[in-house]
Structure formats: C-alpha cells, structure tokens
Amino acid sequence: MSVFSKKRNDNSTAWYYRFQYNGRRYCEVGGTTKTEAIRAQEKRRAEVLSGDSDFTKTKDITIAEFSEKFLQRREDHASHNRDVILVNHLVRRFKGRMLSSIYCEDVEDYKSWRKAQEVSNATVNRELACLKRMYNLGIKWGNAKRNPVVGVDFLKEPPGRTRFLSIDESQNLIACCIDHLKPIVMTALNTGMRLEEILSLTWTQVHIEAVIDPYLEILKTKNNKARFVPLNNDMVELLRELKSNNTDSRYVFKGTRSGRLHSVRNIFETALKRAGILDFRFHDLRHTFASHFIMTGGDPITLKEILGHSSLKMVERYPHLAEAHKRRQINNLTGLFTECHLYGTSAKVVKMGGNVSS
C-alpha cells in the first residue's frame, strides 16, 4: 500500500492512494492531504476485504465491449461520427482493460501519451470528455461504479477561433463556387447554420409561405435541442428559387439520385483556392455570419439563440467586433467639425458652410 501526491494544472496538490488485492489494482484520489489519502485508503481497503467493493455488484466488461454498446446506443446522436473517432483513440490506449481497472492515474497517463503524439489540447479534452460520458453511462447501465475522469484536470485550450471573411471576400468566394455549392455557402453566410444542419435540411423544415416571419426549423442539432432560425429576404428568395427547381427530392440541397448531400469538402476547398482564401474552413462561415451580425448592430442574446448555443459564453468572442466597428464608424467624422494643428493646443471650429472662425 502507498500514498503519493501529484501537482494539478492549477498548482493545487492531489493525494492518491494505491494498493492491490487478488490481482486487482486500486488507485484513486484520496484527498488534498496525505492524512486524508491514508484514511481514504484504509476505508477503501476495508470495503474490498469485506466484499463490499464497488464492483462486486456490477457486470464488469472490457472498455472495447462497452464502447460497442456505447456507440450502438448513440447512433442517432448528431455527434455519433465524432464519437467513433474519439472512442477509437481511447480503445487503442486501453485495449484489453476492464472498466473497473482504469483509474485517475491511468487517465493522467493517457493525457501524456496523447500529448507525446503532438495532439492539440482541445483534441485531448474532447477525448477525455467522451471517456467521462462513457463512464457516466456505464454507471447508469450497471457496468461501472465510479468515473476515473472525475478529479482529472482538463488541459488549457486557446481562445476559440474567430476567423471570418470580409464582405468582399464573401462575395468573391460565392462567385468562385460551382453552381450547386453557391446556395449552400449563401445559406451558411445568411443563417450561421452548421454544415450538417444545412445538408440534412428538408422542405418540411422550411417555413416561408403563409407565415409573417419566415424561418427554418432545425430538428437535429449538436445539443439535441430544436431551434428556429429566422430568414432574411435574401434567403426567402433563394429558397423559393430552389423549390421551383426541385420537384423530386425532399432535401433542400439534393445530391445524386435526389438523395441528400453528405460532403462538400473537395468542392469547397477548390472554391477557396480559386478565391485565394487561406486558412479557412466551412465552419468559419458560421463565424463570418456571427461577426457581421454583431458588427451590423445585432445583440449577443439574439445571436446565441440563432446559433443554438446553450450559454452566452460561446458568443463572448464576438461583442468586441461591435466596439471596433463603432470606432471605425465614429472615425468617419474626423475632421468634419474641427481642425486641430498637430502641435497646437486649441482647435479651430469649422462652420457648416465651410468658413473657419477662430
């Protein structure tokens, strides 16, 4: 048996205890002091020796087996494809391990292992969040009694990306798109919708006739909460034109054989090259919408609702653009009413007629 300490990212100290019994290793956070860790270790060891171990009443399975169950039961979630990628990395590291055999220390080692592969902090955090979600469901489904990710510090991430296009760049990009990509890009620029939300859009979700305020009803979202996206006049006109030319598909942006489009990656990258736009992703069209929405007088609360964010935290990156835009606009008045000598201390007042009086 042993206890040991580790420094966390916030410079606080966590004390762990570790012991082994009947071939099973136990390693958990015991507290913030050595004394707390020793007491927690004694209590935990007594539970194990008495047969009251957390895992005696659960159906312990390997992480690979549980991953199959996890992914199968979340097939309808919008994040399923992303979950598959995250789970593959986790299983690669913990292959052959039982759910009950993974502890906080193992998760800390996982962080180091991924960082050694030069993976970004954001990616590591998404993988840890996935593992945490898996264990929470494992507890709910009777395959685990504790979550080893609890108490593990996530890595610090840089501020969210706010790359966006100017009006001229946006118009140039649209001009460089092939015909069936143009309305998709225009929809992203005018609504701020995610690519998957756009490509999966059906005509039953489009409400532009017999309504006072036209809108799109987004049902399958990232956070599984339906939302309503208001439409400006440009979008209403675009959708009406698409509808008149689309009589054989239920999808607004149809692919081959009247089915839905699943990807526009290659043709979008080609359009970017033609337009001479570097370091840009399709998701940045969402940032472009949000940035210009704020710069033209939109408020953060309305933007949060349109984008479908659960809190204002995600739109905090945009309000400063409004301040910068106001500054540029107010600078347009420079010199209209006063003439200040570079080295003078007094200003000459300019009359509206153009004559100067001192």
User: Same domain for 201 and 276?
Assistant: yes
What's the rounded Cα separation, in Å, for the pair 189 and 289?
A: 5
Residue 26 annotated as catalytic: no
DSSP H or E segment with residue 274: helix 265-275
User: Same domain for 9 and 39?
Assistant: yes
Q: What is the pLDDT of residues 116-164, one digit of tens each?
A: 999 999 899 999 999 999 999 999 998 998 999 998 999 988 766 678 9
User: Same domain for 91 and 190?
Assistant: no
Residue 20 lies in a domain: yes
Q: Where residue 1 falls among pLDDT bands split at 50, 70, 90?
A: low
- Report field, pTM of the whole predicted structure over 0.85: no
Q: Where residue 185 falls among pLDDT bands split at 50, 70, 90?
A: very high
Residue 331 lies in a domain: no
User: Same domain for 312 and 250?
Assistant: yes
Residue 340 lies in a domain: no
User: Same domain for 213 and 308?
Assistant: yes
Take residue 242 and report the two structure tokens written for it: 């698409």
- Identify the CATH number of the domain in which residue 87 sits: 1.10.150.130
Let me know if 215 is exposed, middle or buried by CB neighbors in 10 A (0-12, 13-18, 19+): middle
Query: Exactly one of 194, 227, 292, 304 is catalytic; which is it?
Result: 194
Residue 80 annotated as catalytic: no
User: Same domain for 68 and 45?
Assistant: no
End-to-end CA distance of the chain: 89
Residue 253 lies in a domain: yes
Residue with more model confidence, 268 or 226? 268
What's the rounded Cα separation, in Å, for the pair 123 and 132?
A: 14
- Identify the CATH number of the domain in which residue 277 sits: 1.10.443.10
User: Same domain for 48 and 175?
Assistant: no
- Which of 44-58, 72-86, 103-117, 153-167 shows the lowest per-residue confidence on average (mean pLDDT)? 44-58
Query: Exactly one of 69, 145, 274, 309 is catalytic; which is it?
Result: 309
Range 308-313 average pLDDT: 79
Residue 309 annotated as catalytic: yes
Residue 194 annotated as catalytic: yes
Q: Residue 45's domain spans which residues?
A: 1-52
Residue 67 lies in a domain: yes
Average pLDDT, the chain: 85
Query: Exactly one of 286, 287, 292, 304 is catalytic; which is it?
Result: 286
Query: Exactly one of 93, 222, 274, 281 is catalytic; which is it?
Result: 222
User: Same domain for 202 and 73?
Assistant: no
Residue 326 lies in a domain: no
Query: Exactly one of 180, 283, 320, 326 is catalytic; which is it?
Result: 283
User: Same domain for 91 and 191?
Assistant: no
User: Same domain for 277 and 241?
Assistant: yes
User: Same domain for 117 and 137?
Assistant: yes
Residue 256 lies in a domain: yes
Count Cα neighbours of 40 within 13 Å in the Cβ-side half-sphere.
20
Which pLDDT does position 163 carry in this prediction? 84
Q: Provide the domain count of the chain.
A: 3
